[in-house]
């Protein structure tokens, strides 16, 4: 399974992606969790101790082409090799690789940025599931940074702005080549929230996670939701979403 969590900023992408990756790993799959957001998020919901775990400088080689500075993985290093060598092992055996933190006064992470892109060009294939956490927002990161995904999971909370973002992202499902796009309703409070999200976005809703105060507590404590409240409503809802996706979605 290859999924990427997308959606408006703050809707719960990282919280759900980390929980999802661990629940999926517990079913026996070998899971690579990819965080392409330079701001840390996924590491916390996974419960990985090293928060900003990107590719080290030595993995990325600088070269010049037509007078321009470019970056590639160092000679002999493949994307799959980079995952084997540099991804950290987190709880439930999930492998975790992050874009790497922006450093210095100008927040420059150009080197990591291109190195990470080269890893995306050559991700491990058979035998691996990939769960991606994308930065909030628009079409560009959606397509480029999540190009490995077979299914984009648009996380939508029951607010007008989030639903509108979901509807815009759903437009990507309109072409034949585009990957599958489905919705995850998050922070659900009212009985008709899920139905409203489905109706207003036109997307199939493959998961519905209730508003859960345990997430705020887990965030405050800096621990993964699955470790803080392993059998609570979010864990149950994410497990059900993993089941739905493992058993295959309805044809679009």
Q: Please identify, using beta-carbon distances, which residue of 41 and 179 lies nearer to Mg ion.
A: 41
d(CA 176, CA 235): 34
Can you point out the beta strands (E) in the chain?
A: 2-6, 30-35, 60-65, 68-73, 88-89, 95-98, 128-133, 151-156, 180-188, 205-210
Q: Please identify, using beta-carbon distances, which residue of 13 and 118 lies nearer to Mg ion.
A: 13
Q: Rule CB under 6 A: is residue 37 a binding residue for ligand ATP?
A: yes
Q: How far is the CB of 86 from ligand ATP (least distance, A)?
A: 22
Q: Please identify, using beta-carbon distances, which residue of 14 and 162 lies nearer to Mg ion.
A: 14
Query: What is the phi/psi pair of residue 18, to 5°?
Result: -65, -45
| Number of residues near ligand ATP (by CB under 6 A) | 19
Contact 39, 251 (CB under 8 A): no
Which of the residues 184 through 223 are near ligand ATP (CB under 6 A)? 186-187, 209, 211-212, 215-216, 219
In degrees, rounded to 5, the angle at the alpha carbon of residue 171 between the alpha carbons of residues 165 and 173 is 120
Which of the residues 4 through 33 are near ligand ATP (CB under 6 A)? 9-15
112 binds, among Mg ion, ligand ATP, none (CB under 5 to 8 A by kind): none
- In terms of Cβ atoms closer than 10 Å to its own Cβ (0-12, 13-18, 19+), residue 40 is middle
Q: Give the three-class secondary structure for 229.
A: coil
Q: Please identify, using beta-carbon distances, which residue of 11 and 59 lies nearer to Mg ion.
A: 11
Q: Rule CB under 5 A: is residue 41 a binding residue for Mg ion?
A: yes
Q: Rule CB under 5 A: is residue 14 a binding residue for Mg ion?
A: yes
Which parts of this chain interact with Mg ion (CB under 5 A)?
A: 13-14, 41
List interacting residues with ligand ATP (CB under 6 A).
Answer: 9-15, 37, 41, 136, 186-187, 209, 211-212, 215-216, 219, 234
């Amino acid at each position: 399974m290859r999924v990427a969590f997308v959606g408006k900023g703050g809707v719960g992408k990282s919280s759900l992606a980390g929980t999802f990756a661990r629940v999926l790993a517990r079913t026996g799959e070998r899971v690579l969790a990819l965080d392409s957001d330079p701001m840390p998020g996924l590491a916390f919901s996974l419960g990985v101790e090293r928060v900003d775990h990107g590719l080290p400088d030595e993995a990325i080689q600088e070269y010049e082409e037509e007078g321009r500075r470019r970056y590639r993985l160092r000679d002999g290093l493949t994307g799959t090799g980079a995952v084997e060598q540099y991804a950290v092992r987190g709880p439930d055996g999930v492998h975790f690789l992050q874009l790497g933190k922006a450093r210095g006064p100008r927040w420059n992470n150009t080197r990591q940025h291109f190195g990470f892109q080269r890893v995306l060009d050559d991700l491990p294939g058979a035998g691996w599931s990939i769960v991606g956490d994308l930065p909030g927002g628009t079409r560009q990161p959606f397509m480029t940074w999540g190009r490995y995904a077979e299914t984009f999971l648009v996380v939508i909370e029951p607010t007008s702005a989030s639903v509108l973002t979901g509807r815009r992202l759903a437009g990507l499902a309109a072409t034949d080549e585009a990957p599958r796009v489905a919705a995850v309703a998050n922070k659900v409070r009212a009985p008709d929230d899920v139905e409203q999200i489905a109706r207003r976005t036109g997307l199939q809703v493959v998961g519905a996670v209730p508003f859960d105060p345990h997430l705020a507590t887990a965030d405050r404590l800096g621990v993964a939701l699955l470790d803080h409240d392993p059998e609570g409503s979010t864990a149950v809802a994410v497990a059900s979403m993993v089941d739905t996706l493992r058993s295959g979605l309805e044809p679009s």
